[in-house]
Each structure stands twice: as structure tokens, then as C-alpha cells.
Amino acid sequence: MYHEAIILMGALVLGLAAAAASAADPAAQAPVNALGNPSFEQEARGQPRGWRTEKWGGEPAYEFASSGRTGKRSVCVSSEKGADGAWAATAPVEPWSTYRLSGWIKTENVKAAGGRGALLNVHNIQGVATKAIVGTNDWTRVEATFETKDLGSVQVNCLLGGWGLASGKAWYDDLALEQVGQSAPPPPRIAIDAARTGEPISKYIYGQFIEHLGRCIYGGIWAEMLEDRKFYHPITPRYAPYGAGKAPTKENPFPVVSASPWQIVGADDGARMVKDAPFVGEHTPHVAAGSGIRQNDLGLVKGKKYDAYLWLKSAQGAATVEVALRWGDGEKDADRGAIQAGTDRYEKHPLRLAAGADTAQGSLEIRVTKGGPCLVGTVSLMPADNVQGMRADTLAALKDLGSPVYRWPGGNFVSGYDWRDGVGDRDRRPPRKNPAWTGVEHNDFGLDEFLAFCRLVGAEPYIAVNSGQGAAAAAVEEVQYANGAADTPMGRLRAAAGHPQPYGVRWWGIGNEMYGAWQLGHMPLDKYVQKHNEFAGAMRAADPSVKLVAVGDAGPWSEGMMRGCAGHMDLISEHFYCRGLPGMPSHVAQIRDAVRRKCEAHRRYRRDFDSLRGKDIRIAMDEWNYWYGTHVFGELGTRYFLKDALGIAAGIHEFARQSDMVFMANYAQTVNVIGCVKTSRTAAALETTGLALKLYRERFGTIPAATETSGLVDAQAAWTADRKTLTIGVVNPTLSAADVPLQVKGARLTGAGTRWQIAGADPMAYNDPDEPPKVRIEEAAVRGVSDKLTVAPCSVTVFALSVE
């Protein structure tokens, strides 16, 4: 996704540069081509600059062809068995304007197989497409004219297929996207019929998703401060955990750890890794007298206390080990503790240390000062205020967020995860290479820790099982571990870990994104239908009370799952992510539109599929969010801005409109990784998107009322459960304040109420955990509300209005 965002920005820069060049030439008479690289002559990394490939079905093949209608290049999409795929680019456009999309297509034996053929289309606007070319044809010009409405950008597709599959080969060249007219936008307006209500909005639309990826768990939720505390990587004299020449910087404070974050202190041969009877994993550090090991880049707070412990054993005679928490290079810039290690067996040695200064370059140093050598089994360092191993600051932010349900442990991660690695003695759980992402999986945060986390934040658990590389038998054992009686095999294992009572986990997901070639264990749809049904039958046999969520992806995959698995699921998962787009209205609207498209697809399935007769299988949108930008907070740790909060609010409005279709939605992800909470090494804070989720969960009603809007505002009304208050959410994606005309029928407003807003003059404003918040929820009383609502520029506002 990040690679696609880079290509997208390239396309926009090219398009804007072309527009600027034309504007600088008063003699220019021809309309400006908003598309960058429209003839594909510019190359970047072996691809046409500014263009990317998209696949919606079948088996498309993509070629950056070495011939064209004009110039030397064109693009080609082909398929032997049929495909629905495209070369795509995003271009800036003026809202409320008329545009003409044109281009040239050459075809070879193109046949429609449920789709249309070879064509150009505008992805964002349903029905905007050129005529489709089939058969074998020399270069043929095609065009379509359309209105942009409120869009500030559009995606142009060089498409083979189109609402179905097509086979053959098609080349595309010399495209143009030209403005040919402009009109004034309609004025904003909100009309509410308070008597027309929909099904209650499920509380589960405010769900969250956490995955073992980047700094979501480790560095985010889990309080462990040490990287690689179980020594997965061999320790060397050289400190280069982030790769040669790389170190944390202000712009990139959390580089990915790819080698040991530990360093030998003293003689280069003063420590070595021994594989004979390791304490955990494949080897254990063997440290000679006078030598030691050290980890740097720790964040410390002056006066704060830290709890450490070490598992130690002397290899020869009694040994004295000194542990130092350092915040500087001076002799006094450390708090130290001494430990006596014996030879009989590994022993756990706890100690409490305190920091004497604020620093982001703290270190923990372990030296054998007398006797030895000594074996260091594993080490831990946490802030003393940790709550059952979890960061107190992160937990406070998550309690403020108030999500009712958390999905875990993945995500792509789950398709290579063995849940059994994450139970039992935490210090003896094996460290593994993360199967789907970068870094080491410490297995410190397993099923028991996740369920403790859910209790601490007051949320229900939703556990995904491994249907990728995993087998149904392992899923059954996981269900039994969570829900089985203490006299069952897995129940006994749970009881031995200190949890004799069953957890009673209700929500279970079978797999993650199994439709994708990137997914570990990916297989064709027909094979996966069988696998899903096997898992579902076995899990329900283990516990008939479980609620199962199947893997979906609107289109052929969801269609196949609905036809073949409808009797073996309670909900079906859907995922989507949106890129950053130019033009705030477009950027905001895409989240709303993505929710609507998913729901429209499932409404069609209900109408058309006999397998769904008498069933009410609703959507679990268990991954949804924006995904774009640089990784400020570690792997996939993108920052979010005020404009993103507007999009999340518009998405919640659409969930309310689709309350009969969407049962659950899990914002992805919660902490750091495209997260609504961000952490530094020493602080945590709600992102702008987290503020929007908190605001609506706390203040927005639960019974949606029919709402119509015009202009650029997005609005939705909902009654509170007692129907004494009508709430109205309004998103204003412009830089101007607005008095929006309001018409309400079916209820009489008293004129009094309260409004809460998230607003600011800068759409790019953001919150950082180490800085005072720039974006807040502001509350104020309102009076005299009757025929208009006043909203601030670039704002999300929720009004709670009393009724007679």
C-alpha cells in the first residue's frame, strides 16, 4: 500500500505540473490534460511513472509495452482465462466541473466473458466509462464525458474486463483528461425525517483491531522496553540493530530492528552464544568475567521507576552481576543493582531501578563483575507502573477511546501464527521471526494476555484463528483453551497457566484475507470454501455458542463464500483502506463511499443468491481506515491529520445509514500501525482519527433517522435510545464556516442542546504523544437551533438537540 501511495503522489505531481505549465502560457488554448504521463513515455523502476496496476478479478497480466500509437511506449493488459484488471492513475480535478476522458485502444482477440471488453473508465463515479472495444482492432479513439460533482481527484483506469471478465490483449496510449466546463456547487442543506428510522446502530461499529505488526503490540500496548529480550539474534561487538549506518532520528525515531539490539561490552570475545541447553529459543548468551552486554536507545523519564528482572546461572562457581540503567556517560549517570548468581539452575532476579534524567538514549547494561562466566537466560525491563505487563499510558488512552470489541492477533500475522507459542511461562515462550511482517515475535503477548487486555479496557475479545498455514485441529484446541471446562485437555493447560475458569470468548474469525496471494496459505476459492466449512464445523462442535466470521472480499470471493459457506458463518468480513487524495472533499468522501460500495454488493447477494434465503448474514468490516504517508511511528506507523478525522466521521455516518447491513466494524489498527493511538517511548495520545471515534461512540445516537444532504457537507441524524434527544453529525470538508439550512420533520426541536466539535484552520494539524495536543474535542451549549446549523471550517460536529 505504501508503494502505491508513492506512485499516487507521483501522478498528482505530474498532473499539477502540467496544469501549472499551461497556466503560465497565456497563449495556450487547448484544455489542460490533468493526467500525468498520459502517453506512458516516462519510466520509474521499470513501470510507467505515476501508474499502478489494479486487479478486481480473474487473472490479468500487465505489460509496460515497448511500442505505442505515438512515441515508444504504451501499457497493456492481457488475459488468457479472463480478467478484470487495469493500469490506473489518480489525477486532480476541479469539483463541480465537466471533464472529458479520452484515449486510444488497440485490441487483439478481446472477448467479453461477463465483462465489457477493453475500455477506459473513471473508478470513482459509477457508470462513467467509454465504449468497450472487443475483437481485434487497430488503434481506436474512445471518450466519455462526466461531471466531477464534489470530487477533487479521480482514478482513471485502462481497463480489461469491466464489471466482469474479458480475455485477450489490449493496449492503451495517448490518454487525456480535460476540463470542458464548470458549474457552481449546490448550496449545503440538511433535511431530516425524524419519524423514518432505521435499525439500531450496533455498538460494535466502534470496534478495534490489533495485530502483531510494527509497534502495535510491542512498543505500543505491551510495556516491555527491551527489544529481543530473549536473544533471537546473536549478540556481536557491533551495535547495528537497524542495519549498517542506521540509527533513530527525529524523522524516523523507530527504525525496524533487523539484527541484535544488544552489544558486547568489554572484550570482543567476552560474550558468545551457546546452543547447549538454551534457556529459551536456540541459544543463550555466555558472558565472561569483566565483560557484559548492553542495549541502547531506551526512553527514560527522570524520577520514574523501572522494574527489571534477569534469569541467570553461573557457568562456573558463584558470580556477581551488576545491572546498570544508564541515562548518560558519567559515572554517576546510572542506577545500579548487584545480583549473586549460583550454578545449580537458572534463577529469576528482580530489581527496581530509577532514572535520573530524561533521555531517549538510555541503556541497560549487564556485566559480570566477579566470578563467572555467567549465562543470561532472558531479561525484562518495564516501567514500574505497568498494569499486568501493559503500558499504563496506552491503557489510559484506550479506555478513553472506549472500544467495545478488539480483533486479534491478525491480520496477515495470524496465517503463520501458532497460538500455542503464546501460552505458558512467558519467559520460556519461543522467540520467532514474525511470519508476515518484519522483526521478532517475542510471544510475550499471547491469548491469556490478550484476554487480560480486554478485561482492562472493558472490551469483548474477537479472536482470529489460523486458516492459512494452520489446521482445523489447532483452531479447535484454541477454542477449547479459551472456552473449555477445566477438565478438558486444553482447559487443563489454561488452568495450569492460572486461569481455571473458561473465558467464554464469543467472537471468532476463521482466517484473514485468504483471497490474497500475499496471504500465507492462500488457495483458490473452491478449495478455501471446503477449508472454511471444515473449520466452522469443528469449532462449533467444540463450542456451539461461538459466533463465526468468514473471510470476505466483495466480488467473486464474497460471492463464492456466500454460495458455499452461508450455513457455516454468522458474519462475513470485509476490508478496505483508502489513500490520501488531493482536495479535502474527495479525501473525506472516499471512506463513506467505500462503506457504501461494500454494503451495496452484499445487498445484491441477498437479492440474488438462494443460499441466503432466510439468513441474515451481516458484515464485519473488521479492517477499515486510511493508509498513506510516511512511517513516523515505526513499521506502517503513519501519522493522521485533521482531514482524516473528517473521513472517519463520514464513514461512521455511512455505517449508520447501513445499520441493517453492518454489525461490526474494527478500525485498523489501534496503536501506532495506521493507528488511532500513537506512542513514543514514554507517552501516548489519541490521534485525530481516535478523537472522531471517541466523539461518535460517546455522543452520537443509536437509532438512525432518514437524512438527506446537498452540497459538500455530509450529515446523519440519530435518536438516542430513549428518543429524548436527536443527535446530528455534520462533516464540513471545506475551509469555510457554514450556516447549513436545516429542515426537521417528525420531531419538534426545543432549540437548546450541546455541540461537540473537532475543528481547525489547518487540515494537516495532528497530535503527537510528545507534544501538547493541537486537535481536541470542544464542547459548547447551543441555543435557538431551528432552521440552520453553524459549523466551523474543516470540522466534525455532533449536535445533541432536545425535542419537545
**Confidence band, pLDDT 50/70/90 cuts, at residue 251:** confident
Three-class SS state of 533: helix
Could you list the beta-strand ranges (E) of 610-724. 618-626, 662-668, 677-679, 684-686, 703-710, 714-719
Check whether residue 542 and residue 393 sit in a common domain.
yes
Q: Which of 209, 700, 201 is CA-nearest to residue 454?
A: 209
Residue 416 Cα distances to 467, 521, 526, angstroms: 9, 8, 21
- What's the whole-number mean pLDDT along residues 526-548? 98
Could you list the beta-strand ranges (E) of 316-439. 319-326, 334-341, 347-354, 359-371, 374-383, 405-408, 432-433
Q: Which of 324, 319, 336 is CA-nearest to residue 374?
A: 319
510 lies in some domain: yes
CA 586 to chain centre: 20
pLDDT of residue 20: 44
Give residue-wise pLDDT tens across range 424-457.
999 999 999 999 999 999 999 999 999 999 999 9
Say if CB 141 and CB 106 are below 8 A apart.
Answer: no
Check whether residue 712 and residue 585 sit in a common domain.
no
- What's the whole-number mean pLDDT along residues 151-179? 96
Please count the other Cβ atoms lying within 10 Å of the Cβ belonging to residue 716. Answer: 29
Which residues, listed in sequence order, are joined to residue 55 by a DSSP beta bridge? 85
Which of 659, 685, 700 is where one domain is finished? 700
774 burial (CB, 10 Å; 0-12 / 13-18 / 19+) is middle
Q: Higher pLDDT residue, 583 or 680? A: 680
pLDDT of residue 351: 97
Separation CA 246–CA 226 (nearest Å) = 18
Check whether residue 397 and residue 535 sit in a common domain.
yes
The upper half-sphere exposure of residue 586, i.e. CA atoms within 13 Å in the direction of its Cβ, equals 22
Separation CA 550–CA 287 (nearest Å) = 50
Q: Which residues contact 147 (CB under 8 A, 6 or more apart)?
A: 96, 97, 98, 99, 183
Check whether residue 623 and residue 741 sit in a common domain.
no
Check whether residue 517 and residue 586 sit in a common domain.
yes
290 lies in some domain: yes
Q: Which of 495, 471, 470, 468 is CA-nearest to residue 481?
A: 495
Which residue do the cell numbers 496471494 mark? 517
CATH of the domain at 473: 3.20.20.80
Q: At residue 15, does pLDDT exceed 90?
A: no
CA pseudo-torsion sign 212, 215, 217, 218: positive
Least confident of 5-9, 245-249, 260-264: 5-9
625 lies in some domain: yes
Check whether residue 74 and residue 162 sit in a common domain.
yes
pLDDT of residue 13: 41
Q: At residue 7, does pLDDT exceed 60?
A: no
Check whether residue 168 and residue 111 sit in a common domain.
yes
**Confidence band, pLDDT 50/70/90 cuts, at residue 582:** confident
Separation CA 249–CA 160 (nearest Å) = 45
Q: Which three cell numbers stand for residue 27?
A: 497563449
Three-class SS state of 136: strand
Q: Which of 38, 157, 41 is CA-nearest to residue 88?
A: 157
CATH of the domain at 746: 2.60.40.1180
Dihedral angle, C-alpha 284, 289, 290, 296, nearest 10 ° = 20
Q: At residue 79, does pLDDT exceed 70?
A: yes
Looking at the 3D structure of the chain, how many domains does it have?
4
CATH of the domain at 273: 2.60.120.260
Separation CA 457–CA 206 (nearest Å) = 14
Which of 659, 674, 700 is where one domain is finished? 700
Q: Higher pLDDT residue, 409 or 149? A: 409
Q: Which of 340, 334, 330, 328 is CA-nearest to residue 354?
A: 334
Question: Which domain range does residue 392 map to?
Answer: 205-214+388-700
**Confidence band, pLDDT 50/70/90 cuts, at residue 124:** confident
Q: Which residues contact 266 (CB under 8 A, 6 or more apart)?
A: 288, 290, 291, 292, 367
Check whether residue 343 and residue 469 sit in a common domain.
no
Give residue-wise pLDDT tens across range 630-647.
999 999 999 999 999 999
DSSP state of 100: E
**Confidence band, pLDDT 50/70/90 cuts, at residue 126:** confident
251 lies in some domain: no
Check whether residue 111 and residue 142 sit in a common domain.
yes
Separation CA 82–CA 92 (nearest Å) = 31
Separation CA 496–CA 239 (nearest Å) = 40
255 lies in some domain: no
Check whether residue 712 and residue 691 sit in a common domain.
no
Separation CA 462–CA 546 (nearest Å) = 10
Say if CB 375 and CB 285 are below 8 A apart.
Answer: yes
Q: Which three cell numbers stand for residue 542?
A: 467444540
Say if CB 634 and CB 585 are below 8 A apart.
Answer: no
Least confident of 24-28, 102-106, 132-136, 406-410: 24-28
Check whether residue 378 and residue 403 sit in a common domain.
no
Check whether residue 687 and residue 767 sit in a common domain.
no
CA 231 to chain centre: 29
93 lies in some domain: yes
- What's the whole-number mean pLDDT along residues 344-359? 96
Say if CB 501 and CB 493 are below 8 A apart.
Answer: no
**Confidence band, pLDDT 50/70/90 cuts, at residue 29:** low
249 lies in some domain: no
Which of 352, 383, 414 is where one domain is finished? 383
Q: At residue 8, does pLDDT exceed 90?
A: no
The mean predicted confidence, pLDDT, of the chain is 95
599 lies in some domain: yes
Dihedral angle, C-alpha 462, 468, 473, 475, nearest 10 ° = -10
Q: At residue 11, does pLDDT exceed 80?
A: no
Say if CB 164 and CB 83 are below 8 A apart.
Answer: no
